[in-house]
Structure 1
Amino acid sequence: MSLSSAIYQGNVYHKRFTPTVHEFRYDIYLFWIKLKELPELAQLDGFNVDQKGFLEFRRSDYLNQQGLPLEQEILAKMNALRDTLLKSVTTPINGDVYFLGQTRMLNLYFSPVNFYYVQDPLSKQFTFMLAEVSNTPWHERHYYLVDLSEQDDTQKAFHVSPFNPMDMQYKWRISQPSEHLTLTLSCYKQIKHMVASIDLHRQELTTSNLSTAKKRIPSMTLKTVGGIYWQALKLFIKRTPFYGYAKPATKKPEE
């Protein structure tokens, strides 16, 4: 079967510039899933949808606040954020939604961030991206909406790393997903403090490519969790300033 869904393989890179210098790079793979194709993907050997297995895409792991089908909920979330954050955008956000992120592996789910791209039905260009950010170990989520034609700076609004202050600006640089996909997030507080990026290349989502990816990195979930705490330990040893967790204020409905 011919699918728009795919596997993206490449690396994630982080570098801190101040007050301590620190950088790392890991190999990763992420799934690129056209949500309308989930019924077809459920027929693919080695890829489970809402059914336990080595690898499973489980609906309840994503957003899941309104009891809607995932694509419908994502579009509702985007339009709610558009109404409050992107007032210059006057037309409703609509189109096919693509997911870029991790699934459950070995029945374990953890993903620091998931990305949802909307493809315009006429131009076929990707017009908006919703970032679903989770923090560890507080299990909270926050959403950032980016207009891909503008990619304006965003005020940081959610505590993630205890080694970054809250009063920062995010600068997004997001490519159009194709054979090559890049996404860079730079964190500023007057000067650039940190940059995080992914640099990925597309592969067809086939049983063979899926098997190869799983053999290369048997559990992205465990690798991600382990990597976060390992790098945090290194930053602690380097005496990087620590910013304690503060519970967020009561959220508005659109957050």
Structure 2
Amino acid sequence: MIPALYPCTVLHRRSAPRSYALRHRTYLWMVDPDRLPRLPFLLRPLARFDPRDHFGGHSPTLRTGLDGFLAAQGVDLAGGSVTMLTQARVFGYVFNPLTLYWCHDPTGALVCVVAEVHNTYGERHCYLLRPDREQLASVEKEFYVSPFFPVDGDYRMRLPEPDHTLNLTVRLIRSGEQVFTATVRGERRPATPSVLLSLALRRPWSTAAGSLAIRMHGIRLYLRGLPVRPRPRHRPQEGVE
């Protein structure tokens, strides 16, 4: 199952203060941060997993960065396994709106999920989630993401660990109203060189394309008269820059 690739469709739909939708096709990696994939030399520019892109950006490995954040939250996996859903650097560039870590204890039981959110201002924030049996979790919004929403409300997330399919949902609730929904839907493919090359040819420079799509989405909303909310000063978490 790991590593794996998920060609997927990302849908952002906002219903307030103005209805708008953005649909984007990309592909995501499912990896074990303790055993990252080793690609043939010529394909390495298409996928690089760099610890500098996650958490505080100073840890020698992805796993030590994750463990440092969990320790600050009072969580010890005792060496249990982790699966990570993310985008890799492509030709040296990456933008990860959302990276997810499913964290298990040594028996394989799910302990928690870490949702690492990046905004377009180079800031990041992690949410520690405790999904219920239906893989649902709620958390108060604490991080400025969209320039059109203030930092208030609650996220309600459905984050089942991907298997043959990828099916994630994040909703933002403000004053009892669902104002934003993001979904990610995809199907697993083996992380072979031929599959990676095929996806890279169909979605060239996927990370830059995703970043550009989000920025164009913001420009369209601004031109439609949506007011920009002030961005508060970012306060890094312990273990997160």
The answer as to 2:157 corresponding to 1:159 is no
Q: Secondary structure at the match of 1:153?
A: strand
After superposition, the Cα gap between the structure-2 partners of 1:46 and 1:129, relative to the gap in structure 1 and judged at 3 Å, is farther
Residue 194 of structure 1 deviates from its aligned partner by 0.6
C-alpha contact 1:46 1:210 (8 A) present in aligned 2: no
After superposition, the Cα gap between the structure-2 partners of 1:230 and 1:43, relative to the gap in structure 1 and judged at 3 Å, is closer
Partner amino acid, structure 2, of 1:55: A
Residue 176 of structure 1 deviates from its aligned partner by 2.6
The answer as to 2:127 corresponding to 1:131 is no
1:55 maps to what in 2? 47
Q: Take 2:30 and 2:94, find their aligned partners in 1: how far apart are those partners?
A: 17
1:71 maps to what in 2? 63
After superposition, the Cα gap between the structure-2 partners of 1:65 and 1:57, relative to the gap in structure 1 and judged at 3 Å, is closer
Q: Take 2:167 and 2:185, find their aligned partners in 1: how far apart are those partners?
A: 5
1:87 maps to what in 2? none
Q: How many residues align?
A: 236
How high is the sequence identity, in percent, across the aligned residues? 25
**What does the per-residue CA deviation read over 1:213-233, in whole Å, with 9 as the maximum and x for residues that have no partner?**
101101112211210111111
Q: Secondary structure at the match of 1:152?
A: strand
How do residues 57-206 of structure 1 correspond to structure 2 at under 5 angstroms? Answer: 57-65=49-57, 67-81=59-73, 83=74, 92-94=76-78, 95-122=80-107, 124-137=108-121, 139-149=122-132, 151-190=136-175, 191-206=177-192
Q: Take 2:5 and 2:118, find their aligned partners in 1: how far apart are those partners?
A: 22
The answer as to 2:217 corresponding to 1:231 is yes
After superposition, the Cα gap between the structure-2 partners of 1:44 and 1:147, relative to the gap in structure 1 and judged at 3 Å, is farther
Q: Take 2:139 and 2:194, find their aligned partners in 1: how far apart are those partners?
A: 40
C-alpha contact 2:30 2:84 (8 A) present in aligned 1: yes
2:8 maps to what in 1? 10
Q: Take 2:64 and 2:239, find their aligned partners in 1: how far apart are those partners?
A: 15
1:34 maps to what in 2? 32
After superposition, the Cα gap between the structure-2 partners of 1:223 and 1:217, relative to the gap in structure 1 and judged at 3 Å, is same
Partner amino acid, structure 1, of 2:165: H
**What does the per-residue CA deviation read over 1:195-249, in whole Å, with 9 as the maximum and x for residues that have no partner?**
011112111100111111101101112211210111111211222232111213x
Residue 192 of structure 1 deviates from its aligned partner by 0.6
Residue 46 of structure 1 deviates from its aligned partner by 4.9
Residue 59 of structure 1 deviates from its aligned partner by 2.7
Residue 57 of structure 1 deviates from its aligned partner by 2.1
Residue 66 of structure 1 deviates from its aligned partner by 5.0
C-alpha contact 1:79 1:93 (8 A) present in aligned 2: no
1:24 maps to what in 2? 22
Partner amino acid, structure 2, of 1:155: E
After superposition, the Cα gap between the structure-2 partners of 1:107 and 1:251, relative to the gap in structure 1 and judged at 3 Å, is closer
Residue 97 of structure 1 deviates from its aligned partner by 1.5
Residue 92 of structure 1 deviates from its aligned partner by 3.1
Partner amino acid, structure 2, of 1:227: A
Higher relative contact order (CA 8 A, sep 6+): 2
Q: Which runs of 5+ in 1 are unaligned?
A: 84-90
Q: Secondary structure at the match of 1:76?
A: helix
Partner amino acid, structure 1, of 2:130: D
After superposition, the Cα gap between the structure-2 partners of 1:254 and 1:58, relative to the gap in structure 1 and judged at 3 Å, is closer
After superposition, the Cα gap between the structure-2 partners of 1:131 and 1:46, relative to the gap in structure 1 and judged at 3 Å, is farther
Aligned-pair RMSD on alpha carbons? 2.1
After superposition, the Cα gap between the structure-2 partners of 1:46 and 1:118, relative to the gap in structure 1 and judged at 3 Å, is farther
